[in-house]
Amino acid sequence: MNGASLPLAQLLAPAVRWDPARGYDLQRPLIDRALAAGVGGFILAGGETEAVRALTKDLQRRSRTPLLIAADMERGAGQQFAGATGLPPLAAIASLGDPEAVRRAARLTAREARTVGVNWDLAPVCDLDVLPENPVVGTRSLGADAALVADLAGEWIDACQSEGVLACAKHFPGHGRTAADSHDELPVVATDAETLFAQDLAPFRAAIESGVGSMMTAHVAYPALDPSGLPATLSREMLQWLLRQRMRYEGLVVSDALSMKGLLRAVPAPQGGSQGGSQGGSTGAEGAAAVRAVQAGCDMLLAPSDVDATVAALDQALRSRMLDAERVQQALRRRLKWAQWVSPPNEYRRPSMTDTGLGAQLADRVVRAERGAVAALRGVVDVLTVDDDAAPGAPAPDERARPASTRRQLADALRIAGVQARAVDSAEGASGSTLVIALFGECGPSKGRAGHSAETRAAVSAACAAAARSARDAVVVLFGHPRLAAAIPDAPSVVCAWSGDRVMQDAAARWLARRK
């Protein structure tokens, strides 16, 4: 096969997003173009399980090559797909100190993914949670201790891949020390090489030892590992010498989303290219980034904004010999190997009722009192929502990327648990009753901060003060990282529920209801 006839589109996996009103209908033109081009996979963001199952079956049937169909399922298949089981964040599960809980979570995720035709889980996160101000890691990480994260990541990978679903260790060589968000800018980690090798790379070494099939690169620069200042995604020094040669990794190397500004700002602006392309990056810049990522050692490129333009850029680079044909063929062989590996035989287990009950069990286990004693609930319980993710300056949450998770779920779940509860918009209420402050605020793409805003903290303080004036008990339910409790000192008691997903709101309600 000569360079000009290589199926370059197989290196791409475009994103397909669910729309609550139209399902996948709005994505049909993109899907049709991608299949016509011959892409090697897709990333699914959101959907209802029956619709996902129908879509993945149709994609595989129409494709000329076996497809890798991925989803971000760090918190179980329910993180993306309505009707599947949601799980607590990895940090919450890790906090139990129970490796078997990690294995069971991974097995459940993989089994549910396979039932809807998803064969690639973009998890686990192997980044260390060592920088509290990191705006994108937080509860996604298995923790701060490198040895523990390494052990638990290995457990997750082994259990996931034992169910026939490809796992993905991310974000190599470690996103835990970044104070900037690679969705918006290029973070630079100035940590010395000795520390990176001893700590940050340890989970990735464990992932390799566990046989992980894929590894995702970070759009982050590490001058101690590559003095050129290139992000890992574009760095031959990190991908070829460090990962392939020194760490002896032979699996699939995949980029983080190609459209992220942290990557695009690391490539020269193309001559004559516009700067206003979709998702914050020009099509020309994405093409240039794609070429350089494959040159550096990436085998697949995730979430390109424009499949045709990216293929054209790769083709032009191949024809001009800027891109080596053997490097492309190597990437194509790796992709095909793993796509064939996950081709679904019938003998893989479907989730049992015991499996699907795991989500609620794990969620109940991780909810904990973080500060103060929580008094018994009294009277009609008022639930006041303070949502940092909707605070001024924060982007609107993208409900297409996961099942709708109403911020009012806690009040509904309390009523289901037998508590007289109501959602309110004010902290004022009857003396002697309980005020529950549902405080939402997690790390997220382009949010720009790890902690709560000043406005959010002020709102919680004001609510606690109002409750005190009315002689009411007040308890804050923190749907976020437990360390954020330290920033709300006015709350007499804080319960940590780790994330705002429905499964965690339900678990928090059960935890509170036991204190009636």
Q: Report the catalytic residues.
A: 256
User: What value, to the nearest 5°, has the Cα angle with vertex 215 and ends 209 and 220?
Assistant: 120
Distance CA 282, CA 305 (A): 9
Q: Are 56 and 69 in contact (CB under 8 A)?
A: yes
29, with CB counted inside 10 A (0-12, 13-18, 19+), is exposed
Q: Which amino acid, 216?
A: M
Tell me if residue 333 falls in helix, strand or coil: helix
Task: Give how far Cα 305 sits from Cα of 6, 56, 167, 220, 437, Å.
Answer: 21, 20, 24, 20, 40
Backbone angles phi, psi at 311, to 5 degrees: -60, -40
- Look at residues 128, 2, 120 and name the one whose alpha carbon lies nearest to residue 71: 120
- Separation CA 206–CA 201 (nearest Å): 9
CA separation (Å) from 143 to 76, 137, 152, 249, 273?
18, 10, 10, 24, 42
Which residues fall within 8 angstroms of residue 14, CB to CB, at 6 or more apart?
30, 34, 39, 42, 43, 303, 304, 307
